[in-house]
């Protein structure tokens, strides 16, 4: 996911900074202006230092809120809990998050279930088509609610504690010809980030595996006809210059996870432990807002400036896409059920919670995460 070229979330940050910065509840929380849930700090010993490792470059959309949260923790703990950031893979790479945290190289960091194979199958549920709600903040809350039952056991097997899940915007289509119905995809060559071969086969498209920087030229030269991705990928790589049709679909989701070393957190004094754990969900929620909602709003201006046709499928046509891909989800769940993994129950819970949270506003979801965070049972 992370390459030597400028990552899409890094390039997206440059665009977002150009015109969307504004104060809101999440910003106030990160700035320490909202102290809800912060315990009284009674610990009087020497400062305790945690190392936080992640693979994102300094310009990533996710880095500023992460750094702000680190400052918030230091201030709220009266300098007793100090988090030292190691970015750009300097502590451990994207593929080594679980190992790095499990072995104590770092106490807290970004951990990707995608790189752990079948050992974390339930945690990869968001990769299934039409499972992730369109509202990434809702998906972030849902992940927190179902974590204890489904995800925590998989994280435990990796020797780490579940931290949080920052959901990204589900993937849409940017194409050289308009995609108005299912048949319009047949035979197209597509570049895709995180799409499974099963989904590609069901849609009748041919996957072309290309690095991010090559997508522009591939579209321009006809190597590919379309890209399944997100606004924070399309716009930074200027794909709207060569593909003039955007179809909102929300096929598959993705995101960033964190995990922590359970022994290190267990050794924290009770007040510092509460401060650390209570801040995980609001931090995830603010990251989801910045990367999935604020940037998408900014992206609309870029699409308009490039004369991109914005296509919203009629409900009946969107249902055809969902019906076509439902067997893929069913097969995934059935395969896991054979191994006694409760995939069907997980899908049912996500569907039920989506109906509860998807229509809530960013401020409502942020407020919920601050005032009523989910107490994940590790």
Rounded Cα distance between 343 and 138, Å, is 20
- With a pLDDT cut of 90, the percent of the chain lying above it is 84
The pLDDT of residue 213: 87
Domains defined along the chain, listed by start: 29-120+130-168+255-298 (3.40.190.170), 172-251+300-336 (3.40.190.170)
Q: Are 130 and 250 in contact (CB under 8 A)?
A: yes
- What confidence score (pLDDT) does residue 59 get? 78
pLDDT at 19: 45
pLDDT at 278: 97
> Predicted confidence band at 336 (pLDDT cuts at 50, 70, 90)?
very high
Give the tokens for residue 154.
């998989």
**Is the distance from CB of 136 to CB of 291 less than 8 angstroms?**
yes
Kindly report the number of other CB atoms within 10 A of residue 185's CB atom.
23
Query: Whose structure tokens read 């050289």?
Result: 176
Q: Look at residue 4 in the predicted model and tell me its pLDDT.
A: 34
Give residue 8's pLDDT band: very low, low, confident or very high (50, 70, 90). Answer: low
Report whether pLDDT(217) > 90: yes
Is a pLDDT exceeding 80 seen at residue 38? yes
122-169 pLDDT, tens digit each: 999 999 999 999 999 999 999 999 999 999 999 999 999 999 999 999
**Which pLDDT band holds residue 1 (cuts at 50, 70, 90)?**
very low
Summarize the confidence of residues 86-103 as an average pLDDT: 96
Q: What's this model's pTM, rounded to 2 decimal places?
A: 0.89
Alpha carbon separation from 68 to 49, 160, 200, 276 (Å, rounded): 17, 24, 39, 14
Confidence at residue 84, expressed as pLDDT on a 0 to 100 scale: 98
pLDDT at 6 over 70: no
**E strand or H helix that includes residue 154:** helix 152-157
Say what the pLDDT of residue 164 is.
Answer: 97
In this predicted model, what pLDDT tens digit does every residue of 260-313 receive, in sequence order? 999 999 999 999 999 999 999 999 999 999 989 998 888 999 999 999 999 999
pLDDT at 16 (0 to 100): 56
pLDDT of residue 2: 32
pLDDT value of residue 61: 84
Separation CA 162–CA 150 (nearest Å): 11
Ordered strands of the 48-53 beta sheet: 81-86, 48-53, 108-110, 255-260, 161-167
pLDDT of residue 114: 86
For the record, the structure tokens of 49 come out as 């230092």
Mean per-residue pLDDT of the chain: 92
- Determine the Cα–Cα distance for residues 101 and 257; give it in Å rounded to an integer: 13
Q: How does pLDDT run across 343-377, given as a tens digit for each residue?
A: 999 999 999 999 999 999 999 999 999 999 999 99
Count CA within 13 A, CB hemisphere, residue 39: 15
Residues 6+ apart with CB under 8 A from 318: 249
pLDDT at residue 198 tops 70 = yes
pLDDT of residue 18: 45
């Amino acid at each position: 996911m992370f390459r030597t070229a400028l990552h899409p979330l890094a390039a997206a940050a440059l665009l977002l900074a150009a015109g969307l910065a504004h104060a809101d509840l999440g910003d106030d929380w990160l700035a320490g202006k909202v102290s809800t849930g912060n315990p009284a700090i009674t610990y009087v010993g020497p400062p305790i230092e945690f190392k936080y490792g992640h693979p994102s470059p300094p310009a990533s959309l996710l880095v500023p809120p992460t750094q702000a949260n680190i400052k918030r923790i230091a201030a709220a703990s009266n300098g007793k809990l100090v988090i030292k950031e190691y970015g750009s893979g300097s502590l451990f790479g994207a593929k080594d998050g679980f190992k790095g945290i499990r072995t104590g190289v770092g106490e807290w960091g970004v951990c990707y279930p995608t790189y752990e194979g079948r050992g974390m199958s339930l945690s990869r549920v968001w990769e299934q088509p039409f499972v992730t709600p369109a509202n990434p903040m809702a998906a972030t809350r849902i992940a927190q609610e179902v974590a204890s039952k489904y995800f925590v056991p998989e994280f435990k097997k990796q020797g780490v504690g579940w931290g949080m899940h920052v959901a990204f915007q589900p993937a849409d289509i940017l194409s050289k010809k308009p995609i108005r119905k299912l048949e319009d995809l047949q035979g197209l060559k597509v570049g895709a980030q995180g799409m499974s071969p099963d989904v590609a086969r069901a849609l009748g498209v041919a996957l072309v595996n290309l690095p991010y920087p090559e997508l522009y030229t591939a579209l321009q030269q006809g190597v590919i006809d379309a890209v399944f991705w997100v606004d924070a990928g399309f716009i930074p790589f200027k794909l709207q210059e060569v593909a003039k049709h955007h179809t909102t679909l929300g096929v598959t989701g993705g995101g960033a996870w964190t995990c922590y070393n359970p022994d290190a957190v267990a050794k924290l004094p009770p007040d510092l432990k509460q401060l650390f754990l209570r801040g995980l969900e609001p931090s995830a929620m603010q990251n989801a807002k910045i990367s999935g909602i604020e940037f998408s709003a900014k992206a609309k201006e870029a699409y308009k400036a490039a004369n991109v046709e914005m296509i919203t499928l009629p409900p009946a046509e969107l249902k055809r896409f969902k019906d076509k891909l439902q067997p893929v989800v069913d097969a995934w769940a059935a395969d896991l059920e054979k191994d006694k993994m409760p995939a069907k129950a997980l899908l049912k819970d996500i569907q039920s919670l989506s109906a509860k949270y998807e229509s809530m506003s960013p401020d409502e979801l942020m407020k919920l995460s601050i005032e009523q965070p989910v107490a994940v049972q590790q």
